Copies of this chain bind each other. A is one copy, B any other.
């Protein structure tokens, strides 16, 4: 696609607040929270309604460059060093971040006004897991009595909080995947804070997750906490519902 034509259509689409996407050959520089440079190559570039700008290489999940919503976007022709190219620029409102793209060739370009008010519903996150543990305390232990869930304190928030028959306070930290060292330190922080706050010493810490890493287990036991193997809820759902069709959710 000829660069002049591209520029005219780009500006027009941008002015109408459409979404834009194009494949191009470009070179990229970013300056802001870090400094980055990417040599010339083919990429796909997206610009959204809110001026979010995403640049993707032909492989990988994460964008190689991006600017968050609200940036100021411009596209200017440049002639220099015997070559012509377009300079796509995006600057944040506070002028702290810059993205500069030298566009040498545009392979294909499309733009359209997109309408979408839908929000994704999601099941099987950590919140659902703590719900499950509060509703099914036997998954933790026979004498666990949950009192609250997602208790917010100024030093963090506790997934499930309760007590046992022996009068111990019990704090449960749950993770959907293999619990690591960070999960243990997090649990420890909560336990110590509750002990301090309530002025007691009989606070039990329980880490509930499908699995735990060896080092984390070692540290957990050293601190007198315990691990309880618990599957995250949506895995159980799928097992129980035996292959219901995915399209009709």
Contacts and interface: CB of A to CB of B under 8 A. Distances in A.
Given A19-B23, A111-B108, A125-B34, A41 B118 contact: yes
A59 B48 contact: yes
A130 interface: no
5 contacts: A41-B118, A42-B116, A49-B58, A61-B68, A154-B215
A52 B61 contact: yes
Interface in A147-176: 154-156, 176
* Copies of this chain in its oligomeric complex: 2
B118 A36 contact: no
Contact of A112 (B38, B108, B156, B215): B108
A200 interface: no
B34 A234 contact: yes
Contact of A116 (B50, B57, B114, B120): B57
A42 B98 contact: no
Contact of A156 (B35, B52, B54, B181): B181
Query: Which 8 pairs of residues, A with B, have the shortest CB-CB distance?
Result: A41-B116, A42-B114, A34-B124, A108-B110, A58-B114, A39-B118, A185-B185, A41-B118
A114 B44 contact: yes
Which range holds the interface residue count of chain A? 35 or more
Interface in A101-136: 102, 107-112, 114-125
Nearest to A116: B41
B29 A246 contact: yes
Given A34-B125, A110-B110, A182-B185, 17 more contacts: A22-B110, A23-B110, A29-B247, A29-B249, A31-B246, A33-B124, A34-B122, A35-B123, A35-B249, A37-B120, A50-B60, A54-B61, A61-B69, A100-B247, A108-B112, A154-B215, A185-B186
Contacts of A21: 21, 23, 44, 110
Interface in A1-52: 19, 21-23, 28-29, 31, 33-44, 46, 48-50, 52
Contacts of A121: 36-38
A189 interface: yes
- Give the residue among A41, A42, A247 with the most B Cβ atoms within 10 A: A247
A64 interface: yes
